[in-house]
């Protein structure tokens, strides 16, 4: 039996547990040098530790890191239990378009589509961190991103890290955009706790443990330092639907 056949058999098995794919797109350009990069590294540890405390997240969350500077590179989508926060270094330009290219490739190639008898993966959840302005032609990748439909369409939450972050770009890319003018380790850690809490809430909602509630509402501890920005994309009420190529599934 070849590897692809084995994967199909596993997916068809009643034991297959639908995955909740989570992507973290991290700006590692020179704009993130110093305390912002230290804070970002600490934030990865925060989200990992918090998710590992939640049984449903441990069962269903798969994580992938996409770092972008002079070029973009992806750490493959893997189970939360196998994830190790990678070391981060800042330097170079801001190749956001290259990161979006990798994101779309992974969504199209790595997620399991559903069948008439078996539901597929949940809709992907993406958190994007940007400190400055993209230095590549990111607009070229936008049609590919927007062409993702139904359960492949990601829900994207973006954080503009600093007053100089290009919020116009983020509002074109993301469903929900926040801006943090002063980037400190404490605030970034707080935002990562908010991020992990959103993933936990979603993992409970899609499995019926909790009713779906408004996603991505900032905690009071961040309201004074982080503001929400209106976006040009249509936000979704829930961050997860099955990757089965249809909008007709009645998932939370």
| Residues contacting residue 3 through CB under 8 Å, at least 6 positions apart | none
Higher pLDDT, 231 or 56: 56
Average pLDDT taken over every residue of the chain? 84
pLDDT in tens, 92-151: 999 999 999 999 999 999 998 777 777 889 999 999 999 999 999 999 999 999 999 888
pLDDT in tens, 151-187: 889 999 999 999 999 999 999 999 999 999 988 889 9
Q: What residue ranges define each of the domains in the chain, with the CATH number in brackets?
A: 19-229 (3.40.50.410)
185, 39 contact by CB (below 8 A): yes
Name the residue among 126, 44, 147, 133 with its Cα closest to residue 97: 133
Q: By CB neighbour count within 10 A (0-12 exposed, 13-18 middle, 19+ buried), where does 185 fall?
A: middle
pLDDT given at position 215: 64
């Amino acid at each position: 039996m070849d590897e692809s056949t084995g994967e199909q058999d596993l997916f068809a098995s009643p034991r297959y547990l639908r995955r909740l794919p989570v992507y973290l797109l991290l700006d590692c350009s020179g704009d993130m040098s110093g305390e912002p990069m230290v804070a970002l590294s600490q934030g990865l540890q925060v989200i990992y530790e918090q998710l590992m405390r939640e049984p449903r997240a441990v069962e269903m969350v798969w994580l992938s890191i996409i770092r972008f500077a002079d070029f973009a590179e992806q750490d493959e989508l893997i189970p939360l239990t196998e994830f190790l926060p990678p070391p981060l270094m800042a330097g170079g330009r801001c190749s956001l378009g290259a990161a979006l290219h990798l994101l779309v490739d992974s969504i199209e190639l790595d997620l399991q589509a559903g069948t008439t008898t078996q539901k597929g993966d949940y809709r992907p959840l993406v958190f994007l961190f940007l400190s400055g302005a993209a230095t590549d032609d990111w607009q070229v990748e936008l049609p590919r991103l927007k062409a993702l439909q139904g359960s492949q369409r990601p829900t994207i939450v973006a954080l503009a890290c600093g007053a100089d972050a290009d919020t116009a770009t983020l509002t074109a890319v993301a469903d929900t955009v926040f801006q943090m003018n002063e980037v400190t380790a404490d605030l970034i850690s707080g935002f990562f706790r908010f991020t992990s809490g959103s993933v936990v809430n979603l993992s409970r909602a899609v499995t019926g443990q909790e009713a779906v509630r408004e996603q991505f509402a900032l905690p009071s501890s961040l309201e004074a330092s982080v503001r929400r920005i209106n976006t040009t994309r249509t936000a979704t009420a829930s961050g997860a639907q099955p990757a089965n190529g249809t909008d007709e599934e009645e998932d939370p």
